[in-house]
Amino acid sequence: MKNFSIAIHGGAGTLVKGLMTQELEAQYKKALQIALNKGYDVLNDGGTAVDAVEVAVKSLEDTPLFNAGKGSVFTAEGTHEMDASIMDGNTLNAGAVSLVTGIKNPVSLARDVMDKSYHVFLAGEGAMQFAKQNNHEIEAPSYFYDEVRYQQWQGIKDSENFQLDHSVKKDGKFGTVGAVACDQNGNIAAATSTGGMTNKKWGRVGDSPMIGAGNYANNETCAVSCTGSGEFFIRGVVAYDVSCLMEHKDMSLKDASSEVIHKRVLDIKGDGGLIAVDSKGNIAMPFNTEGMYRASKTSEGKEVIAIYK
Ligand code: ASP
C-alpha cells in the first residue's frame, strides 16, 4: 500500500488575528476537522482521490462558516452565484460549473459535468438545466441567508466596490473552499468551490472553476486548489504553473508551490494561497496572506489543522 494523504482549505481570507475569538477559532477548526476526517476516511477505506475531494468539499459547502455552498456571499443583486470545479489527475478528466444559484453542493454538480456529460465547463442557465436533469438538490434563497454575509453586502451594496476576501479588512466570514488528495493507488485529484466575492456583478467569474487557474490535477505532477484574488490567479494560471514548474524545471512540490505563491503571484500583486499534493502523498500549503484556513492528514499519521502562520 502506498502512502495516501489529503489537504483541505477554507480560504485565504481569514479574520485578522485581533478579530478572531477563541470560540470562533474553535468553530472553524471543528468544521475543518470534520471535512478532513470525511475525506481521509474515504482514502483509508481504499476509495479514490476524486471521491475523497468531493466528500471533503461537500462538507465545507454545508457549513455557513466558509464562502461556498451554504455560506456563499451576496452578489450585487442580493443573490448567490456559485462556482466549482473538480479534476481527476489519473485521467485528466475535469468538470466545472459557474454562475449557478440555489445548488446545495456545486462541487457535486461539477463532478456530474465531468462524469455524465461530454463537456468540461457549464455556466448559468444551462448549468441549472443540467442540474435539474441530474436531480441535484436545489435550495430556496433562505438556505443561503446569513446575517453576517448580508451585513457585509449592505456595507458596500450601493457602491462600485466589490469585496475580495483578501484585500480589505476581514470583519466577517470568508473563504473559498478546496481539497486535494492522493489515494492508495497514487492517483491524485483536486476540487474547489466558492461563492466568489461580495457585491460581484456582470457575471463575474473567478479562478475557482477555471481548470488550470484555481484548480488542476495531473498524476505526473500535482493536484492543486487555490484561494485568493481570483483575477490574479487567472492571469497567473496559478494551479497549472505549479504543475509546469514541476514538469519542466524538475522542482519539488514544495518548491514549486512556494515559488508560485511567494514570488510569481506577488509579482503581479495578487494575494492568496494554495494547497497541493503529489502522487507520493507529499503536501504543500503555502499562502502569502495573514492566514489560510487549512488542514491536512497523511497515512503516516501526521495531522495539521491551522489558521495563521
Ligand atoms: N478565488 C476566489 C474568487 O476569486 C475567492 C477566494 O478564494 O476567496 O472567486
User: CA 159 to CA 89: how far, in whole Å?
Assistant: 42
Count, residues in the chain: 309
Q: Quick one: pLDDT at residue 302?
A: 97
Q: Quick one: pLDDT at residue 165?
A: 46
User: CA 24 to CA 273: how far, in whole Å?
Assistant: 22
Cα-based distances in Å from 8 to 49, 92, 93, 135: 13, 20, 21, 27
CA of 214 to the centre of ligand 1 (A): 9
Q: What is the end-to-end Cα distance of the chain in Å, rounded?
A: 33
CA of 1 to the centre of ligand 1 (A): 36
Q: Quick one: pLDDT at residue 69?
A: 93
CB atoms within 10 A of CB 18: 6
Ligand 1 atom, smallest distance to 227 CA? 7
CA of 207 to the centre of ligand 1 (A): 7
pTM of this structure: 0.94
In the chain, where the domains are located: 5-308
CA of 241 to the centre of ligand 1 (A): 18
Residue among 61, 65, 194, 198 to mutate when testing ligand 1 (max atoms within 8 A of CB): 194
163 in contact with ligand 1, CB cutoff 6 A: no
Ligand 1 atom, smallest distance to 231 CA? 4
Residue among 197, 199, 216, 292 to mutate when testing ligand 1 (max atoms within 8 A of CB): 197
Per the rule left: phi > 0, alpha: psi between -120 and 50, beta: everything else, 2 is beta
Give domain 5-308's CATH superfamily.
Answer: (Glycosyl)asparaginase (3.60.20.30)
Residue ranges of E strands in the chain:
5-9, 82-88, 93-100, 121-123, 177-182, 188-194, 215-217, 223-228, 272-277, 283-284, 291-298, 303-308
Query: What is the edge-to-edge ordering of all strands in the sheet holding 82-88?
Result: 121-123, 93-100, 82-88, 188-194, 177-182, 5-9, 291-298, 303-308
Q: Quick one: pLDDT at residue 160?
A: 67
Burial of 202 per CB tally in 10 Å (0-12, 13-18, 19+): exposed
Residue 209: all three cell numbers together: 472553476
11 in contact with ligand 1, CB cutoff 6 A: yes
Catalytic residues: 176
Residues of the chain with pLDDT under 70: 160-174
Q: Quick one: pLDDT at residue 77?
A: 85
The count of C-alpha atoms lying within 13 angstroms of the C-alpha of 44, restricted to the half-sphere facing its C-beta, is 11
Question: What φ, ψ does residue 60 adopt, rounded to 5°?
Answer: -70, -35
CB atoms within 10 A of CB 67: 29
270 in contact with ligand 1, CB cutoff 6 A: no
195 in contact with ligand 1, CB cutoff 6 A: no
CA of 191 to the centre of ligand 1 (A): 13
